Amino acid sequence: MEFRWWKESVVYQVYWRSFYDTDGDGYGDLRGVTEKLDYIMGLGVDVIWLNPFYASPDKDNGYDISDYYSIMPKAGTMRDFEELLDGAHRRGLKVIMDLVVNHTSDQHPWFLESRSGKESPKRDWYIWRDGVEGGAPNNWRSYFCPTAWEYDSATDQFYFHSFAVEQPDLNWQNEEMRKEIYKMMHYWLKKGIDGFRLDAIALLAKQEGFPNAKNPEDISYLTNNPGVHDYLQEMNREVFSHYDILTVGEVAFVSPQEGLLYVDEKRKELNTLFHFEVCDEMPIWDLKRFKEIQKRWYDGLWGRGWNSQFLNNHDHTRLVTRYGNDAEYRVESAKLFAAMLHSLPGIHYIYQGEEIGMTGVRFESIDDYKDIAMKNKYQELVGAGMNAEQALSVLQPLSRDNSRTPMQWNSSMNAGFTTGQPWIRVNPNYKEINVKNALNDSNSIFYFYRKLIELRKAYKVFVYGDYQSLLESEDQMYAFTRTYEGKTLLFVSNFRKSVHNAVLPRELNISDGRLLIGNYERDGDEGNTLQLKAFEARIYLFM
């Protein structure tokens, strides 16, 4: 496989609006990211992924863009961005931008023009259809609404939206529109950014004729439709191939075979993808299933395309709360998941706050939640007759706001995030869980992440090693090896809350290996039987 810098990278995701506020308006901002670059660099990561900060009415926290060329005032100015980019580059950090090209805001001038009349030159830049029998053109749901169509009385037609009503989908069949998008991509790349995280990129092509779905609840009809690869190959040819960048696309509802088509190095589309077999499709931790997913994706991609590893982001409840243990074993489980993800094949993504073991939240009132997806769903459930309290408790565990609360810097007011009124409530546990405490404790989750990243730099086997799963029949223990150029890395772990023995294959004699890192004090295990404590994880190296 070809060498590319991003294969060896660790990415740190900055949800800027919740990261650090420098002007007291209650929103994090780009200057806040710049101020914290030394902190980010201190973790040892290589790349920063910034969530969208383009001009936007902000109905979906920046994923509804109204001008691709300017910056949302909450985030700052173009100058602020240039300073951030410059500060990052001076520290050897790369910056990738989140880019949303499946849809725009309904306030984007293109859409306003498109909406203005059937004869508008931009009519075809979006997807307009006549209704059927007085209703929507078909029975599809959108990600955020019970229907994917919005009626517009001005022209007596419906427009299509895969997400919120305020996020009309662009019509990728329109070549003029595609050219405008490519031009805009060049604009940012020429500014010197190091790549894109491509939002909802597998949604670009729509099903021909928009046929009714048998089961409208299964929204996989929105994604991975014929034609999507033509657009991505064109995008690569027109834009990506001219730069040495990282492109990572969101590709939901695909098998590894389908996923490979997006990232196969020979096909020249994207560098890597986020598949959602874990984060979207595995609501609670299921190790057996996780192992099976890892194996299938490894078999599907390895040697041909590059995978990504993550267990949370701004859309998914924080990993200790959702998959680990956010009470008694918060620190142990956070470290276990970190060691596991970091040892698996693919780029490792860290979502801000994960490195200090931040947890999800449970706000008491729907008014404390800000997420449009949750709010819409709440309305839908209550509208269908569910009582309000129950609707809230059904939606709380997976609300996207679980991961969007402000970064916890210290134990002062608002966790040191802002001197103003934070746009979303701070997690009440900030007095205990915060960066300052983490940096003062040599045993903290933060330093564990940092060590893992150092190890990746020191031993290429973390990046390039072939993967082999062990202890396959165990459903509460995960062990695997990675092997590369005569070195073998062994990851071994216990997901129980109690002590358990791991019996490794005979040839893996612990006494021959070196413990690189573990989340408990080293003990005296020898031979091939390891006694692992609650949520214990170790990584050994054999050479």
Active site amino acids: 199, 250
Burial (CB count within 10 angstroms: exposed 0-12, middle 13-18, buried 19+), residue 20: buried
According to the binding rule CB under 6 A, does residue 449 interact with ligand TEU? no
Q: Which of 143, 149, 430, 459 binds ligand TEU (CB under 6 A)?
A: 143
According to the binding rule CB under 6 A, does residue 29 interact with ligand TEU? no
Q: Which is nearer to ligand TEU, 207 or 419 (CB)?
A: 207
According to the binding rule CB under 6 A, does residue 276 interact with ligand TEU? yes
Q: Which is nearer to ligand TEU, 280 or 474 (CB)?
A: 280
Task: Give least dist CB 237 to ligand TEU, A.
Answer: 25
Least Cα distance to 479 among 494, 461, 457, 463 occurs for 494
| Helices 256-263 and 287-301, packing angle to 10 deg | 50
Q: What's the start-to-end Cα distance of the chain, in Å?
A: 23
What ranges make up the beta strands (E) of 262-411?
A: 272-274, 308-309, 347-351
Q: Which is nearer to ligand TEU, 53 or 495 (CB)?
A: 53
Q: Which is nearer to ligand TEU, 100 or 424 (CB)?
A: 100
Q: Which of residues 297-326 bind ligand TEU (CB under 6 A)?
A: 314-315
Task: Give least dist CB 199 to ligand TEU, A.
Answer: 5
According to the binding rule CB under 6 A, does residue 200 interact with ligand TEU? yes
| Interface map 239-268 toward ligand TEU (x if CB under 6 A) | -----------x-x----------------
**Helix/strand/coil for 185:** helix
| Interface map 213-242 toward ligand TEU (x if CB under 6 A) | ------------------------------
According to the binding rule CB under 6 A, does residue 20 interact with ligand TEU? no
Say which residue the tokens 């492109």 belong to: 247
Contact 27, 60 (CB under 8 A): no
According to the binding rule CB under 6 A, does residue 169 interact with ligand TEU? no
CA 322 – CA 285 distance, rounded (Å): 7
Q: Which of 20, 68, 159, 163 binds ligand TEU (CB under 6 A)?
A: 163
Task: Give least dist CB 312 to ligand TEU, A.
Answer: 11
Least Cα distance to 443 among 359, 520, 351, 357 occurs for 520
Q: Using DSSP, how many helices (H) and how many strands (E) does the chain show?
A: 15, 20
Report angle CA 372, 373, 377 to the nearest 5 degrees. Answer: 110
Task: Give least dist CB 61 to ligand TEU, A.
Answer: 7
| Helices 256-263 and 228-238, packing angle to 10 deg | 20
Least Cα distance to 130 among 114, 151, 161 occurs for 151
Task: Give least dist CB 419 to ligand TEU, A.
Answer: 27
Q: Which is nearer to ligand TEU, 317 or 519 (CB)?
A: 317
According to the binding rule CB under 6 A, does residue 150 interact with ligand TEU? no
Give φ, ψ of 84 to 5 degrees. -65, -45
Q: Which of residues 514-533 bind ligand TEU (CB under 6 A)?
A: none
DSSP 170: B
Task: Give least dist CB 143 to ligand TEU, A.
Answer: 5
Task: Give least dist CB 109 to ligand TEU, A.
Answer: 19
| Interface map 476-505 toward ligand TEU (x if CB under 6 A) | ------------------------------
According to the binding rule CB under 6 A, does residue 459 interact with ligand TEU? no
Helix H or strand E encompassing 438: helix 435-439
Q: Which is nearer to ligand TEU, 93 or 200 (CB)?
A: 200
According to the binding rule CB under 6 A, does residue 80 interact with ligand TEU? no
Residues 6+ apart with CB under 8 A from 222: 140, 142, 143, 148, 162, 203
According to the binding rule CB under 6 A, does residue 210 interact with ligand TEU? no
Q: Which of 166, 199, 326, 536 binds ligand TEU (CB under 6 A)?
A: 199
* Tokens coding 74: 């909450």
CA 133 – CA 95 distance, rounded (Å): 49
DSSP 518: E
Say which residue the tokens 């692992």 belong to: 532
According to the binding rule CB under 6 A, does residue 60 interact with ligand TEU? yes
* Tokens coding 461: 């086997």
The residues that touch ligand TEU, with contacts defined as CB under 6 A, are: 60, 63, 100, 143, 163, 199-200, 250, 252, 276, 280, 314-315
